[in-house]
Amino acid sequence: MHFDILILGLLIFVAHLFEAIFKKLKIPDVLLLMLIGIVIGPGFHLVSPQYFGQFGSVITGIALIVILFDGGSHLSLHDLKESLRTTLGLALATFLVSTVTVAAVSHYMIGLDWLSASLIGVICGAISPVVVLPIITALNLSKSAQTVMTLETAFTDVLAIILAFSLIDAISQGTLSPLKIGSKLLLSFFIAGLIGFAAALIWSFLLNKVRQFPNTTFTTFAFLFIIYGIAELFHFSGAITCLAFGMTLSNLERIKVLRTKYLEDFDFHAFDDDEHSFFSEIKFLLKTFFFIFLGMSFQFDQVEPIMIGLLITIVLILFRMIIVRLSASKTMGYRELLYMSVMIPKGLASAVLASIPLQLALPHATEIQMTTYSVILWTILFTSILVFLIEKTSLENVIVKILGLSEQKEQSDLLNESIYSEMNESADHKDKNRLEKNNEKNENQSD
């Protein structure tokens, strides 16, 4: 017991060290945390995921809730309006291409029937917010790029969850209804967003009253868990609910309905700096646990799923580059497009969905889980390494040429040089003025 507590304390300090390394060297901390999990799990068998029991899956679920809430709380309605069209095109194209690619590889190389292969495809179609959001925050990308990526991760997660459960039902029952799937998808998006919006208004009204009681900082998360559970209980998207909840609370001043005569007497409150700081600490701890736990969950007993996962990842990255170039907004800088083109990591949603066929004893359940876990590992690994190489090596120039962004890069470089030159001239001018004033002062003193 004492050894476990010692390790827990060390891991938290190591996670802070990894975050500092990410900021300085651009080596993603999520990759380093995952590698620790691999070393202490399948590497040296010091700890296994079973050691945590149900607690592990609960914490990973909480990590998803908190990170989506945090992502939503950094979105503005103005950025959302500007980025919605780009986001939908990017999210749908990426999800569709990922699904078709993974399904084709699973069918022709693993030998699965098309329904089971399609299930792996939709499971691997999601882009993980738990991986992407910490990376894009640390990279200091533009607001529009961060908004697009945040919404894309939420949309693809919801698409994956709804379509995966629909295909699982189809495999279990032997029937598939595209109309039923489509209507369920639209309803889930709309109702989940409405739940999040209404819950945010209720909580912002109660927030100042709740603050009058001691030790209530964590009650926001408690309320968030409740609305997530309610949404999921009625088969709507808890992920979209959390995103809408965070986004509404961060945009209270911009929501016109709050200024109507029916609501103008109500006193709505946003979060203060202390609460935001507390939320960041909780997110950090959950992120640390999640990626170590994910690393521990990988299995390296069979070579074939690992190699197939590698092949799928390479193909997905190539397609992602094409999709970003065709569907991303022309107003974005080349740097944003560059990083967006390698953001394909799979994560929590994919890992959870891949375990369900095994629980239900569906055909090919083991192949589905092993292939998905392999894709999760390789996509996180490739995304993390490519982010580092783009930042630190000449790989940036290679991808710029592949994406056809050479002209944009040249314009950006010229602009940066111009700004740098103006700053130097301004600094020189200030130094010159300071020197002249000092000389005048010395002359006056000598007189």
Q: Domain 2-390 is of which CATH architecture?
A: Up-down Bundle (1.20)
Each residue's pLDDT tens digit, 306-346: 999 999 999 999 999 999 888 766 667 888 888 999 999 99
Q: Which residue has the higher pLDDT, 3 or 386?
A: 386
The pLDDT of 60-79, averaged and rounded, is: 76
Buried residues in 137-165 as b, exposed as e (16+ CB within 10 A): ebbebeebbbbbbbbbbbbbbbbbbbbbb
- Entry pTM: 0.74
> Are 160 and 122 spatial neighbours (Cβ–Cβ below 8 Å)?
yes
On the question of pLDDT at 41 being above 80, the answer is yes
On the question of pLDDT at 124 being above 90, the answer is yes
On the question of pLDDT at 415 being above 80, the answer is no
Write the CB contacts of 190 (distance below 8 Å, at least 6 apart in sequence): none
Other Cβ atoms closer than 10 A to 79:
20
On the question of pLDDT at 123 being above 90, the answer is yes
Q: What is the mean pLDDT of the chain?
A: 81
Helix and strand numbers (H, E) in the chain are 17, 0
Burial class of residue 413, CB neighbours in 10 A (0-12, 13-18, 19+): exposed
On the question of pLDDT at 258 being above 60, the answer is no
Domain range summary for the chain, segments of one domain joined by +: 2-390, 405-447
Buried residues in 191-217 as b, exposed as e (16+ CB within 10 A): bbbebbbebbbebbeebeeeeeeeeee
pLDDT for 107: 94
On the question of pLDDT at 198 being above 80, the answer is yes
Tell me phi and psi for residue 346, to 5 degrees: -100, 155
Q: Which amino acid is at 238?
A: G
Helical residues (DSSP H) of 106-177, grouped into ranges: 114-123, 129-138, 143-173
